[in-house]
Amino acid sequence: MSRKFTLLFLSLVLTLPLFAGCQKEAEVIKIGLEGPMTGDYAYEGQGFEKAVRLLVDQTNAAGGLLGRQIELVIEDDAGDPAQAALVAQRLVDAEVVAVIGAYNSTATEPASEIYNDAGLFHITPSSTATGLTQKGFQRFFRVCFLDDRQGLFAAKFIDGVLNAKNIGILHDNSTYAQGLADHTKRYAEELGLNVVFYDAINPDDQDFSPILTNIGAAELDAIYFTGYHAQGGLLLKQSGELGLDLTWVMGNASNNPEMVQIAGLANAAGTYITTEPLPKDVDYPEAKKFVADFEAEYAMSPDSVWWMMAAEAFNVIRYAIEQTESTDSQVLAEFLHNEAKNLNGITGPILGWDEKGDRLGTIHVAYIINESGEFIMNPQQP
Amino acid sequence: MQFIQQLINGLTIGAFYSLVALGYTMVYGVLKLINFSHGDLFMWGAYLGLTGLNVLLALLPQAGAWAILPVVIIVMTTVALVGVLVERVAYRPLRTAGRLAPVISALGVAFILESLARNIYGASWKTYPTGITPTGRIALGGDARVSVMQIVVLAISFLIMGALYLFVQRTRTGTAMRAVSLDHDISRLMGIDVDRIIAIVFVIGPGLGGVAGMIVALYYGSFDFTLGWTFGLKAFIAAIMGGIGNIPGAMLGGMILGIIETLGAGYISPQWKDVIAYVILIIILIFRPTGLLGERMAEKL
């Protein structure tokens, strides 16, 4: 008798936390954020956190979502594909209803497989590698634009605005940078440009003088670097120190004021950047309000367009949950595929998503770094 | 013309590898220990130099380039102290524990130093104050140019390496170091304070590593906490290539690795330079397993 009682008591005690768990799940809506909080891209990852945290707090203060509070679950992938797979599994285990992330395509690629297997609703703010949406994942979306759109824009800019004939393209072997480089090469050749130099750097290097010496000798009218800002800054600095007179064009991963610091003002001035418009240049009231709130909260402006994209991703998730009154991944995904059209995004108009999950349209523009190191919109656009 | 320019590029990179390789080779000489924390001590030199320069230039903005001198001395002393501390805490208790335990301990110290740097200074790239290093280039005929900073870096590197070589070859302490590198027990019987000699090695190695970190940071202008890993691994390979335990070998190995990498990157592609460099390393090791200068046992340190 007493043994039976003990067993009953034990089983009650042991299952109690499970019930408590269920209760708690019903109260909060967990949303995952995966990004590089440390490592080379920590600047972007920490910005993701700031941007999304701001919106989560605002939503919670206004009564939450469907009457429930939102809990943000943050995981650090350090921009590394191995760690990305690990933390993606942790987010799945934490039972989030949707995930924002990762920053770089190299990390998003393995993570997206895991989210897909778990049936999660997943939006990347910034991973633009074309291949990511070619796998038939039904619940994976982007709020950024495809590399091949930027490649086309870059080719048009180098051809039409810079009037270059012989051009070089340099990437860093990452999924993203190589994709952008390949697309740009294809479009540039279609436009009749000669791609006379095409090569990659190793982003772990500190010294790029060997390849810069070659670039200098190739007599290029323009060179397009598709990699990230730290290497972009070093390339500009070392090319200046070697005394090379090059017209540098950088892709959107170099759209970062830190690049100017690394390069030094004199070496950075005159560099062009193809990118989504900076927060300060987006003219929508939604964007202006977000920038103002961000400045009030953190005493700094959201300098990176990717922080805006992370906020955009959160807004899309919030909007989908509000409209469908559901947190079911499949319902949310179908809503984005079929019903979400012509929204006022904070990075520009959101026309909708195609069947692969790619955001429709494009918003790319060309910037130039001026003498005081500021990014200003280039007066001539293609 | 391009060849000369690439050679200059390679010599500069090689000089950095050599400077860092010295630290690996000195410690290996006396302890037969691969001191994996050396790369991160080197990286700490870069960070401490940054703090030192920022503080000094904030107090004395007119100091300009002169600020470098006192900061170098402070960095050298601080990193040397950390080096001695690391030896005392993480290596000495394990000296009789076989060869594997100290190596793992050294890796542990490396991770600790790297994480400390990341947590204290943050993960983003750091930039040195501008305008304190010499600028300008000298044309060498054709298109080849050498920058004033490259000349300064090469001169300082050769000066440090030469001085160290003379110290080891010509002084009493240097002779004692060479004796300790041959046999600890016999050295002790000869009246050499082995612990003191090892401590001295851990002053000189990390001290020079710290200075090298600051020179690298001054030259490139920016870095992050992975600096120790990237340069440390290459310098370690340079030390092996030249014959680990041998000071001229470290210099030679560093220069050769720098030049091979540069020519590989310049004439084939940066994507292939590591393949080329390591194929050559393997060939060297097959024919000379002790490295290029590794067989001169009597001069080993």
Report whether A340 contacts A320 (CB < 8 A).
Answer: yes
Q: Does A75 touch chain B (CB under 8 A)?
A: no
- The answer to whether the complex's ipTM is over 0.90 is no
**Same-domain status, A307 and A370:** no
Q: For the residues B209-229, what does the mean pLDDT come to?
A: 93
Residues A31 and A173 in one domain: no
Contact B220 A261 (CB under 8 A): no
pLDDT at B300: 46
Distance from the B294 Cα atom to the nearest Cα atom in chain A, whole angstroms: 28
- A197 domain residue, yes or no: yes
> Which strands make up the sheet holding A69-76, listed edge to edge?
A69-76, A28-35, A98-100, A121-124, A140-142
Cα–Cα distance for residue pair A107/A87, rounded to 1 Å = 10
B124, B147, B231: residue with CB nearest A241 = B147
For residue A333, being part of any structural domain is answered with yes
A38 CB neighbours in chain B (<8 A) are 118, 123
Cβ partners under 8 Å of residue A286, min gap 6 = A344, A345, A346
What is the tens place of the pLDDT at every residue in A135-168? 889 999 999 988 888 999 999 999 999 999 999 9
Would an 8 Å CB–CB cutoff place B213 in contact with chain A?
Answer: no
Residues of A in contact with B39 (CB under 8 A): none
Residue A199 to residue B125, Cβ atoms within 8 A: no
Mean pLDDT of B230-250: 91
Question: Is there a contact between B222 and A38 if contact means CB atoms under 8 Å apart?
Answer: no
- The pLDDT of residue A282: 78
Instruction: Report cis status (omega within 30 of 0) of the bond before A102.
Output: yes
Contact between residue A122 and residue A115 where contact means Cβ atoms under 8 Å apart: yes
Q: Do B220 and A234 touch (CB under 8 A)?
A: yes
| Alpha carbon distance A174, A247 (integer Å) | 23
Do A181 and A81 share a structural domain?
no
Q: What is the residue range of A263's domain? A: 148-275+365-377
Residues A113 and A166 in one domain: no
User: Looking at the complex, does the CB of residue B19 fall below 8 Å from at least one CB of chain A?
Assistant: no
Categorise residue B280: left if φ over 0, alpha if ψ from -120 to 50, beta otherwise: alpha
Query: Measuring CA to CA, how many Å separate A258 from each of A228, A254, B127?
Result: 11, 9, 9
CATH number where A288 lies: 3.40.50.2300
CA distance B228 to chain A (A): 11
Could you tell me where the DSSP H helices lie in A143-256?
147-156, 175-190, 209-217, 229-241
**In Å, how far is B151's CA from the nearest CA of chain A?**
13
Band (pLDDT 50/70/90 cuts) for residue B299 is very low
Beta strand pairing call for B222-223 and B126-127: antiparallel
Q: Are residues A168 and A241 in the same domain?
A: yes
pLDDT digit string, tens, across residues B106-133: 999 999 999 999 889 987 889 999 888 8
Question: pLDDT tens for residues B129-151?
Answer: 988 888 888 888 777 889 999 99
B226 contacts A204? CB cut-off 8 A: yes
Q: Is B299 exposed, middle or buried (0-12, 13-18, 19+ CB in 10 A)?
A: middle
In a domain, A358, yes or no: no
Convert the pLDDT of each residue in A47-93 to its tens digit: 999 999 999 999 999 999 999 999 999 999 999 999 999 999 999 99
In a domain, A356, yes or no: no
β-bridge mates for residue A30, sequence order = A71
Closest-CA distance, B112 to chain A, in angstroms, reads 16
Write down the pLDDT at residue A24: 45
Distances (CA, A) of A110 to A83, A115, A195, B206, B269: 9, 9, 32, 40, 28
Q: Does B115 touch chain A (CB under 8 A)?
A: no
Q: Please tell me whether residues A239 and A267 are part of one structural domain.
A: yes
Average pLDDT of adjacent 10-residue blocks, chain A of 382 residues: 54 50 64 91 92 95 92 94 95 95 93 94 91 90 88 95 95 91 96 95 91 92 95 95 92 90 93 88 84 92 88 94 92 91 85 89 90 92 86
Looking at the fold, whether A299 and A314 belong to one and the same domain comes out as yes
- Taking the C-alpha atoms of residue A238 and residue A208, their distance in angstroms, rounded to an integer, is 7
d(CA A310, CA A84): 17
| Domain total of chain B | 1
User: What is the pLDDT at residue B277?
Assistant: 86
A251 reaches B (C-beta below 8 A): no
Overall domain count for chain A: 2
pLDDT for res B51: 96
Count contacts between A and B (CB, < 8 Å): 97
A323 inside domain: yes
User: Measured between CB atoms, which of A39, A201, A211 is closest to B123?
Assistant: A39
Query: Which candidate, B93, B110, B111, places its Cα nearest to that of B102?
Result: B93
Query: Which residue has tokens 């090791």?
Result: B285
Question: Which residue in chain B is spatially nearest to A172 when comparing CA positions?
Answer: B271
pLDDT of residue B152: 93
State the pLDDT at residue A23: 46
Classify residue A12: in a domain, yes or no. Answer: no
A296 in any annotated domain: yes
Residue B297 has pLDDT above 70, yes or no: no
Distance from CA of A207 to the nearest CA of B (A): 7
Predicted confidence band of residue B93 (pLDDT cuts 50, 70, 90): very high
- State the pairing for strand pair A272-275/A343-345: unpaired
Asked if residue A326 and residue A313 are part of one domain, the reply reads yes
pLDDT band at B1 (very low <50, low <70, confident <90, very high): low
Which domain, by its residues, includes B246?
2-299
Q: Looking at chain B, which residue has its C-alpha nearest residue A265?
A: B130
Residues A53 and A110 in one domain: yes
- A40 CB neighbours in chain B (<8 A) are 123, 224, 226
Contacts 24+ apart (CB under 8 A), A334-340: A336/A141, A337/A138, A340/A316
Report how far residue A309's alpha carbon sits from residue A317's, in angstroms, rounded to the nearest whole number: 12
CATH (domain of B204)? 1.10.3470
| Shared-domain flag, residues A246 and A287 | no
- Closest CB from A207, A217, A233 relative to B2: A217
Q: Render pLDDT for B11-61 as a digit per residue (tens, 0 to 9).
A: 999 999 999 999 999 999 898 888 999 999 999 999 999 999 999 999 988
Q: Which of A38, A210, A258 sits opposite B270 (nearest CB)?
A: A210
Residues A43 and A105 placed together within one structural domain of the fold: yes
Same domain, A373 and A325: no
Put simply, the answer to whether A211 touches B12 (Cβ < 8 Å) is no
Residue A169 resides in a domain: yes
Q: What is the pLDDT of residues A346-368, one digit of tens each?
A: 888 888 998 899 998 778 899 99
pLDDT at A4: 58
CB contact under 8 A, A207 and B13: yes
